[in-house]
Structure 1
Amino acid sequence: MRKLLTSPNAMALSASEQSIYQNTLTFVADLSLNLMAVKVTNHPDNFLDWCKELHRICAHDLNRDLLNPDQEKPLKKLQQTLANGVSACQLKMARVIPWPLFVNFMHDNASRQALTERLRLLDYLSSICDKSFSDMSEEDRLAFAGKHTARHDISVYDFDVEWFASTRAANTFHQYLQTKPQAFDQALAHIPLAGEVTESDYLRFVDAFKAIFAADDSAKNATLSVATRLLAMRRPDQFIALTSTKMSSLSVGLGVVKLNQQSFDDYWHEMILTLRNTAWWRSDKPSDETELKLWQYRATLIDLFLFADNNLAANSNYLKMRDKPSKTKIGVVRSLKRSKESAEAIVDKALAEDDLPDFIHNMRSTIVNSVKDGKTVDQAITLMRNIFG
């Protein structure tokens, strides 16, 4: 263990990596006796793998029964510091790798980072991005904006809508999105759906976005996180979706000034322009279908270079809803009311199946009403079969 802990001294660390290493040693001091009891067989020769190995040891090899209560906090901080180190190193790598290595990295981390589910979210939003918020169902608006609810029926929303950036805590934003959807439509209209997005396009969006919150002295709620969620979902090839947590990791890893919730100028001039100078982002449009999808979403997919533990994919809101056991009281069926738009989307997806008889298709409106009132689409179709089949 002593050899492992001191090995970064022999590595050529950058200033940010050296800072992460020194922070690591601060928390190691409180856990030294516990760590020394662990037998180490893997001695990485680079800082990225060193951070991964020590993080793995803390998570799986450390005897937690020997920890004192006052050691839990430094252990948690040590793990977070090592996670930050992994993110910083992987993002540093992202600044220099070409497109083929970017693709390989996506595939290598696909399972841990829930890439398939993330792509389903981006595909779905791509299919509705030409709609205005005013014309979207409430569920679609929330999917675009990043807030997962129980009304996101898993037969339509087979993904966690909060991947890339959750806006669940942005209460004022969601209030305005519900009452002033046209204002957000007008702001996003400055960002073209295809082709180059210029600085002037972005600045016009920012001005319109801030103006929504300025009317009643709630300007502090016009945060960069919320703005970038909207931008990245509209143009995932151009923008990175931020959260307060991701700002620090991305700033360090990409070597740009540290952003905060009001860093609208730095987001463009530092983060987005740095992104546009990477070899993989500037690569030509690929002909391979699988690579093409990654290329179309490449800016937002920089999330996959951030640290992910083994539980990240399993914490998907979609999987939790899908795998949640049904809890109903005897004699009581709990149903969930849905909007008409959501019910229609669920029913139309089910009616697209080839093996349904014509009389079921002819009863679409009846089935929609049943689903709107809370039945699942399978329950509604089965009922129609039993009555009229």
Structure 2
Amino acid sequence: MKKLLISPSKMTLGEQENNIYQNILKQSSELSLNLMAVKVENHPDDFLPWCYELLSASRDRMNYDLLEPQQLPVLKKLHDQLISAISFLQVKTLRIAPWPVVSVFVEQHKDVIALDEQLRLVSYIKSIREQSLKDMIPEDLLAFSGKHMASLDPSTYNFDVEWFASTKSAKSFHQMLADLPGAFDDALANIPLEGDITQYEYQQFVAAYSKVFTDNGEKPTLAPATRLLAMRRPDLFTPITNNRLDALCGALGVPKLKNSDFERYWQDIVKGIQAMSWYKMANASNELEEQLVAIKALIPCFFYYADDKTPDSSNYIKLLSKPKRSTTTTGKTQRRGKESAEILVDRALAADDIPEHIRSKRDSIINEVQKGRGVNETISLMRTIFG
């Protein structure tokens, strides 16, 4: 372990990498005895695999029984530092990587980043993108804006809506969005659904978006705005989240954005990514690349740290794993509005494999879905009863 800990001092590290290494080393010093007890056989020559190895050693191979309670937060911070370092180093490769290298990276990591599920979210958003926010059912609005709730039936929303950028902690944003969806529509109307977007059009969006908040005594924040922009134009806007902002800004070589830096987001993030070689030369030679080119501004999200536990962290997977609702349960279920239930049921009944006698039970299915039962669950029950 000692050899592993000191090996980056013999690597050729840039200033950013060296600062990261020194911070990791400082954090590790408080766990030195515990770390020394971990057997290490892999000694990488480069900093990125070194970060992966130290993370594995300290997280997966350490004897937690020997840790003092006060050491657990120290270890957690070390893991956070290593994960942030890995994200920084991987996103940084985008500054020089050509398109083929980028597409191969995504392909090779498709399982750990839950690529299929993320692409299902993208596909669903594409199907509702032309709708106004005020006309969306509540569930679709949650999907577009990036907030998971239990009302999202996994048989319809077969993805975690919080991929790319979660906005669940942006309470004032979601309150404004629920109360004034038309005002957000007015802001997004400044962003064309296709073609180039000028800085002036972006600034018009920012002005209208900010006005929604200032008119109601709230401060506009950048992160939720980037989620809306990224879902409207995933080929142009990269969403940001506070927990990944250090890695993203560091990788792009720009000072960390504040949550009010709307102008710098355009200059440093949007235009910075658009200036990269892989972004400019992106072209499709297979089906996966066709999907990636259409959402190329989201590609940096695939370069953040992920491991084999990442897919299981999906809210969609967690919903699937929840025990089935019992008929004897006395707890409250999540009811849906009639309009939401009707739209969700009609979408499901439009499938080619739904027989006509099941479609004739539409009203009964809607009633059950309104009560909180899943759409597919209800249709399956109808099939069992009526054949």
Q: Same fold (TM over 0.5)?
A: yes
SS at match of 1:231: helix
SS at match of 2:302: helix
Which residue does 1:56 correspond to in 2? 56
- 1:195-219 deviation line (CA, Å, top 9, x unaligned): 112211111110110010111321x
User: Cα RMSD between the aligned structures?
Assistant: 2.0
Which residue does 2:113 correspond to in 1? 113
Structure 2 residue 140 is the aligned partner of structure 1 residue 145: no
CA pair 212-33 structure 1, distance change in 2 beyond 3 A = same
* CA–CA distance in structure 2, aligned partners of residues 95 and 133 of structure 1: 35
CA pair 181-259 structure 1, distance change in 2 beyond 3 A = same
Q: Could you tell me how far 1:333 is from its partner in structure 2?
A: 8.4
Which residue does 2:258 correspond to in 1? 260
Counting only pairs closer than 5 Å after superposition, residues 30-109 of structure 1 correspond to structure 2 as 30-109=30-109
* CA–CA distance in structure 2, aligned partners of residues 44 and 378 of structure 1: 49
Which residue does 1:276 correspond to in 2? 274
Structure 2 residue 8 is the aligned partner of structure 1 residue 8: yes
Q: Could you tell me how far 1:284 is from its partner in structure 2?
A: 4.3
Moved more, 58-67 or 284-293: 284-293
* CA–CA distance in structure 2, aligned partners of residues 136 and 248 of structure 1: 34
The residue identity in structure 1 corresponding to 2:291 is K
CA pair 374-83 structure 1, distance change in 2 beyond 3 A = closer
Counting only pairs closer than 5 Å after superposition, residues 373-388 of structure 1 correspond to structure 2 as 373-378=371-376, 380-381=378-379
Which residue does 1:169 correspond to in 2? 169
Contact 1:155 1:346 in 2 (8 A): no
For these two proteins, the number of residue pairs brought into alignment is 387
TM-score (norm 1): 0.94
Contact 2:84 2:244 in 1 (8 A): no
Counting only pairs closer than 5 Å after superposition, residues 1-389 of structure 1 correspond to structure 2 as 1-218=1-218, 220=219, 222-328=220-326, 330=328, 335-378=333-376, 380-381=378-379
- 1:162-200 deviation line (CA, Å, top 9, x unaligned): 111111122221111112111000100111111112211
* CA–CA distance in structure 1, aligned partners of residues 307 and 381 of structure 2: 44
* CA–CA distance in structure 1, aligned partners of residues 244 and 55 of structure 2: 19
CA pair 151-39 structure 1, distance change in 2 beyond 3 A = same
Q: Could you tell me how far 1:311 is from its partner in structure 2?
A: 2.2
Contact 2:153 2:375 in 1 (8 A): no
Contact 2:112 2:307 in 1 (8 A): yes
Q: Could you tell me how far 1:144 is from its partner in structure 2?
A: 0.5
TM-score (norm 2): 0.94
- 1:72-108 deviation line (CA, Å, top 9, x unaligned): 2221111111112111111111111111111111112
* CA–CA distance in structure 1, aligned partners of residues 202 and 66 of structure 2: 54
Q: Could you tell me how far 1:344 is from its partner in structure 2?
A: 2.8
CA pair 260-279 structure 1, distance change in 2 beyond 3 A = same
Contact 2:235 2:295 in 1 (8 A): yes
Moved more, 65-74 or 87-96: 65-74
Moved more, 226-235 or 352-361: 352-361
SS at match of 2:30: helix
- Identity across the alignment (%): 45
* CA–CA distance in structure 2, aligned partners of residues 340 and 359 of structure 1: 22
CA pair 198-366 structure 1, distance change in 2 beyond 3 A = same
* CA–CA distance in structure 1, aligned partners of residues 229 and 237 of structure 2: 6
CA pair 154-20 structure 1, distance change in 2 beyond 3 A = same
* CA–CA distance in structure 1, aligned partners of residues 170 and 373 of structure 2: 31
CA pair 381-313 structure 1, distance change in 2 beyond 3 A = closer
Moved more, 181-190 or 103-112: 103-112
The residue identity in structure 2 corresponding to 1:343 is A
* CA–CA distance in structure 2, aligned partners of residues 314 and 239 of structure 1: 27
* CA–CA distance in structure 2, aligned partners of residues 287 and 194 of structure 1: 22
SS at match of 1:281: helix
Contact 1:117 1:159 in 2 (8 A): yes
SS at match of 2:31: helix
SS at match of 1:282: helix
* CA–CA distance in structure 1, aligned partners of residues 296 and 376 of structure 2: 37
* CA–CA distance in structure 2, aligned partners of residues 37 and 184 of structure 1: 55
Moved more, 87-96 or 304-313: 304-313
* CA–CA distance in structure 1, aligned partners of residues 75 and 353 of structure 2: 56
The residue identity in structure 1 corresponding to 2:109 is N
Moved more, 326-335 or 262-271: 326-335
The residue identity in structure 1 corresponding to 2:163 is W
SS at match of 1:314: helix
Contact 1:156 1:345 in 2 (8 A): no
Instruction: List gaps (5 residues or longer) in structure 2.
Output: none
